[in-house]
């Protein structure tokens, strides 16, 4: 295992020493840190959007506002409203035979939290876990992605301006720095990224017995049920697939459609793209692919699928523009599981469509593959909805829309199995970055002494009573 870079150790030590001086910050201290973060977001939002746009080559400011700034601020304000309540001890009574003793769960900060941020939503996926970590009373150290260098550098610079160096620290650097970062002995480590890299992060954390939250990915299916409103399903799937040009961990990765509705679905999707992106190449509201490497990977996935027998169904009139990394969105029909496009997470504007003959067949297809980060179901019949929900596993589900389960304060966000480990957001995020310390308060008057040795007849009678009472 690679040892952490020496330059990272002093940062972690500084944060640890500061946390030791105030191991259980009062709510007013936590709230002040959250308001500082809110001020940073509001005052620097235009600069952040410009930096993200420059990193992508094109990223509409409207998408950055909708998908990164708004959910960050909404989460932050929800936390400010409810955080004081979350940090109160949860008190209760002891089990029947231990009464009148009492119990409590005391939420305590874990300490110093490490956050590894991906490139696809670099603002939201930095700020979201940071909000939860600060609300729980922790200090935090963030590693930004090298694939969004302008935003990463700007965010690091601005965090250093707004926060003291013993509260929140942002570091930048390449994959070697990321490896060293994940090998630091944090009190909790959150990683958002690919499943492949997640394996390495978990191995590095295991060497320190660092608890981890892994937000990974996978192939998130969209099931168009027999009773779906087809035009609505096509619109919402296209929206979920084409914002940020499909570079979204919970974007619909492929669609399962009743065989008899396949052609109608393709036509509805085309009509939706024509309406939402009337001049896709020129209007500036369709994002570019983040890097040449990612662009070439996506083009290869598409071309290899076609070479293996898949058919391209264009979703617009735009041509690919490699110099701008603009990849025209397409559907792929006639796909099968031998193709890489049906094995790898796509993370781009390619949408395979698979026909099915019965809903049970669609459910079986989903269950025959690794558990996804998200699942989308379009269906009006309640019995069918319950059937799919009860017979499939996914990190999260949105019914009759896409993406929006991630924006609900009352729902944790996270994966299951190969798509992730643990969750955060809202109160669940507060708990993720807290240790709920269990405390038993013994009453002055109690019968514990009746169970002391030597174990004679009195002990046997008491044990028999305990067995009966449970």
Q: Which residues are catalytic?
A: 215, 249
* Nearest Cα to Cα of residue 57 among 142, 152, 179, 150: 150
CA separation for the pair 362, 122 (Å, rounded):
34
Q: Which two tokens stand for residue 289?
A: 């692919």
How far is Cα of residue 344 from the mean position of the Cα atoms in its chain? Answer: 19
Quick one: DSSP state of residue 393? Answer: -
CA separation for the pair 12, 172 (Å, rounded):
15
* Nearest Cα to Cα of residue 338 among 310, 371, 366, 300: 310
CA atoms within 13 A on the CB side of 308: 17
CA separation for the pair 212, 284 (Å, rounded):
38
Q: Which helix (H) or strand (E) holds 38?
A: helix 27-56
CA separation for the pair 280, 278 (Å, rounded):
6
Q: By the 8 A CB rule, do 330 and 349 touch?
A: yes
Q: Which helix (H) or strand (E) holds 351?
A: strand 350-356
Nearby residues of 129 by Cβ (< 8 Å), 6 or more positions away: 113, 115, 190, 192, 213, 424, 429, 433
Q: By the 8 A CB rule, do 25 and 85 touch?
A: no
Helices (H), 326-456: 359-367, 382-391, 426-432
Axis-axis angle for helices 27-56, 70-86 (nearest 10): 160
């Amino acid at each position: 295992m690679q040892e952490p870079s020496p330059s990272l150790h002093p940062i972690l030590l500084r944060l640890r020493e500061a946390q030791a001086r105030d191991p259980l910050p009062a709510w007013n201290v936590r709230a002040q840190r959250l308001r500082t973060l809110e001020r940073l977001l509001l005052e620097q939002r235009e600069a952040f959007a410009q930096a993200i746009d420059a990193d992508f080559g094109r990223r509409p400011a409207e998408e950055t506002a909708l998908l990164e700034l708004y959910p960050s601020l909404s989460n932050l304000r929800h936390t400010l409203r409810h955080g004081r309540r979350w940090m109160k001890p949860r008190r209760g009574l002891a089990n029947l035979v231990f009464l009148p003793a009492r119990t409590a769960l005391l939420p305590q900060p874990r300490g110093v939290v490490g956050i590894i941020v991906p490139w696809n939503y670099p603002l939201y996926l930095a700020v979201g876990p940071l909000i939860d970590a600060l609300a729980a009373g922790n200090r935090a150290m963030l590693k930004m992605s090298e694939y969004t260098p302008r935003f990463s550098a700007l965010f690091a610079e601005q965090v250093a301006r707004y926060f003291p160096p013993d509260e929140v620290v942002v570091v930048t650097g390449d994959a070697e720095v990321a490896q060293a970062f994940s090998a630091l002995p944090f009190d909790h480590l959150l990683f958002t990224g690919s499943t492949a890299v997640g394996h390495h992060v978990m191995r590095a954390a295991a060497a320190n017995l660092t608890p981890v939250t892994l937000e990974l990915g996978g192939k998130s299916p969209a099931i168009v049920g027999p009773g779906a409103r087809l035009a609505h399903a096509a619109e919402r799937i296209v929206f979920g697939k084409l914002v940020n040009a499909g570079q979204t961990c919970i974007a619909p990765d492929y669609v399962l459609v009743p065989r008899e509705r396949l052609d109608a679905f393709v036509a509805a999707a085309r009509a939706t793209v024509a309406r939402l992106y009337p001049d896709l190449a020129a209007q500036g509201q369709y994002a570019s692919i983040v890097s040449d490497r990612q662009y070439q990977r996506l083009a290869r996935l598409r071309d290899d699928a076609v070479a293996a027998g898949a058919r391209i169904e264009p979703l617009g009139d735009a041509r690919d523009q490699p110099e701008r990394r603009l990849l025209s969105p397409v559907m792929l029909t006639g796909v099968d599981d031998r193709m890489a496009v049906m094995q790898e997470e796509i993370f781009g504007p390619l949408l395979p469509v698979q026909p099915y003959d019965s809903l049970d067949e669609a459910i079986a297809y989903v269950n025959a593959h690794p558990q996804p980060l998200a699942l989308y179901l379009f269906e009006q019949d309640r019995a069918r909805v319950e059937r799919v929900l009860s017979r499939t596993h996914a990190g999260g589900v949105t019914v009759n829309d896409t993406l929006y389960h991630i924006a609900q304060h009352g729902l944790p966000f996270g994966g299951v199995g190969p798509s992730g480990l643990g969750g955060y957001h809202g109160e669940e995020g507060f708990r993720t970055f807290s240790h709920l310390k269990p405390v038993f308060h013994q009453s002055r008057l109690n019968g514990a002494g009746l169970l002391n040795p030597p174990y004679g007849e009195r002990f046997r009678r008491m044990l028999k009573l305990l067995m009966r009472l449970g």
